[in-house]
């Protein structure tokens, strides 16, 4: 009888431990197609984590069951850009699960396309891109950074550059009308050295051969 009572107490204790929900549940925005879920748990009294996902925050569908209880993160890939995703995570033991812990995040927008150099002079580089008319931010640098913000333009210039120098350029969509910003797209270009001026006023002096 005492042995049976001991096991009953042990089962109740384990079941209660399994009800401890994951803590510090956060979501990192990785890109326009990936979100990384991170949480904490001491791992005691559980044999799994289960992650559910929703687009409306009301109806959730199972996304992933993680049977390795040492894992504390999961990357959800293949997502749509600029889309809000809701997640909930529970810890479990057998058929028993904890209360759900919830969070949400929005994937980044698609980055501008066609980012390229059009004109180059010793002190100026022209650039073009396709952002669909949404606001963009351009940065260029050798060591530090200079920043230009654009509204609906899809071209611009980096001025006051140093001749014979390589520059790194990066461009992203900025947040606009509730849309998320995008990842950076990057290119590199170098300003040429100035072309030496053609000498003028040259004349050929005749050689006096008379002795």
Instruction: Return the pLDDT at 31.
Output: 94
pLDDT tens sequence for the chain (211 residues): 555 454 444 455 554 444 689 999 999 999 999 999 999 998 888 999 999 999 999 999 999 999 988 889 999 999 999 999 999 999 999 999 999 999 999 999 999 999 999 989 999 999 999 988 788 888 888 765 677 777 778 888 888 889 999 899 989 998 887 788 999 999 999 999 987 767 776 666 666 655 5
Instruction: Return the pLDDT at 7.
Output: 47
| pTM value > 0.85 | no
Instruction: Return the pLDDT at 207.
Output: 61
Angle at 147 between CA 178 and CA 159, to 5 degrees: 135
Positive or negative, the CA dihedral 56, 78, 63, 86 is negative
Instruction: Return the pLDDT at 18.
Output: 45
Instruction: Return the pLDDT at 194.
Output: 86
């Amino acid at each position: 009888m005492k042995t049976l009572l001991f096991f009953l107490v042990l089962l109740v204790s384990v079941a209660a431990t399994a009800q401890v929900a994951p803590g510090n549940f956060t979501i990192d925005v990785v890109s326009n197609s990936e979100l990384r879920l991170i949480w904490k748990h001491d791992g005691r009294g559980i044999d799994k984590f289960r992650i559910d996902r929703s687009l409306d925050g009301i109806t959730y569908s199972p996304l992933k069951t993680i049977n390795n209880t040492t894992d504390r993160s999961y990357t959800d890939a293949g997502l749509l850009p600029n889309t809000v995703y809701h997640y909930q995570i529970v810890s479990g033991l057998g058929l028993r699960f904890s209360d759900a812990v919830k969070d949400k995040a929005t994937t980044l927008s698609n980055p501008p396309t066609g980012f390229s150099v059009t004109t180059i002079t010793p002190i100026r580089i022209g650039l073009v891109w396709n952002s669909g008319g949404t606001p963009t931010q351009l940065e260029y640098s050798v060591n530090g950074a200079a920043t230009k913000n654009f509204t609906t333009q899809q071209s611009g210039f980096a001025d006051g550059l140093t001749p014979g120098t390589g520059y790194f350029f990066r461009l992203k969509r900025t947040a606009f009308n509730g849309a998320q910003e995008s990842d950076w797209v990057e290119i590199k270009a170098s300003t040429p050295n100035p072309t030496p001026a053609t000498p003028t006023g040259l004349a050929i002096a005749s050689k006096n051969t008379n002795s």
